[in-house]
Structure 1
Amino acid sequence: MFHLLWMFIVGIVVGAIARWIMPGAESMGLVMTGIVGIAGSFIGGFIARLFSKPADGAIVHPAGLVLSVIGALILLFVVKKFGL
């Protein structure tokens, strides 16, 4: 249960950083910002695994937060471009 709560809190932080970096006025609430952050984390994790595998037994990738924000920025760009 705490895992889901922690994932949502980190998603809100990642989504808020991405919305702060990406110019424009998106009318997203706190829940949508969290969803963008969580989805961005999945996208960033996919990008990270394309270039390098995490060490055996590692829970997260070393560049996790940075790539999560990059993934959220990619998602915000796609949403803004295609109006999804």
Structure 2
Amino acid sequence: MGILTWIILGLIAGLLARWIMPGKDPGGAIVTILIGIAGAFVGGWLGQLLGVGGVVGGLSLASIITAVLGAIILLALYRGIRNA
């Protein structure tokens, strides 16, 4: 995927993850994009580890779902560490 696709996927995934898990989190749009991009990597890695696939090329529904699940995992980890 191109860098612009990763940014768009990151923005979509980050926004959806924050919408699903509302709460006080750091940063604005840039942090949301970074959480989404990192979520795509985490979700893709976990998907491949579990044998259900990873992030596929482009902005497919499967890529968005995988990235959102990864971003939710990252947000949950962040909140768990922050509240510890």
Q: Distance in 1 between matches of 2:11 and 2:56?
A: 18
Partner of residue 7, structure 1: 6
Count of residues paired in the alignment? 78
Which residue is 1:37 aligned to?
36
8 A Cα contact 1:40 1:73, kept in partner: yes
Could you tell me how far 1:23 is from its partner in structure 2? 2.6
Rg: which structure is higher? Answer: 1
Single out whichever of 61-70 and 32-41 deviates more from structure 2: 61-70
Unaligned runs of 5+ in 2: none
Q: Residue 74 of structure 1 corresponds to which residue in structure 2?
A: 73
Q: Specify the alignment match of 1:60 in structure 2.
A: 56
What is the distance in 1 between the residues matched to 2:52 and 2:23?
A: 34
**8 A contact 1:47–1:67 mirrored in 2:** no
RMSD of the alignment, in Å?
2.3
Alignment-derived partner of residue 16 in structure 1: 15
Q: How far, CA to CA, are the matches of 1:17 and 1:8 in structure 2?
A: 14
CA deviation profile, 1:30-77 (whole Å, cap 9, x unmatched): 1000000000000000111012265xxxx8178322121111001001
**Letter matched to residue 12 of structure 1:** L
Q: Distance in 2 between matches of 1:42 and 1:65?
A: 11
List runs of 5+ in structure 1 lacking aligned partners. none
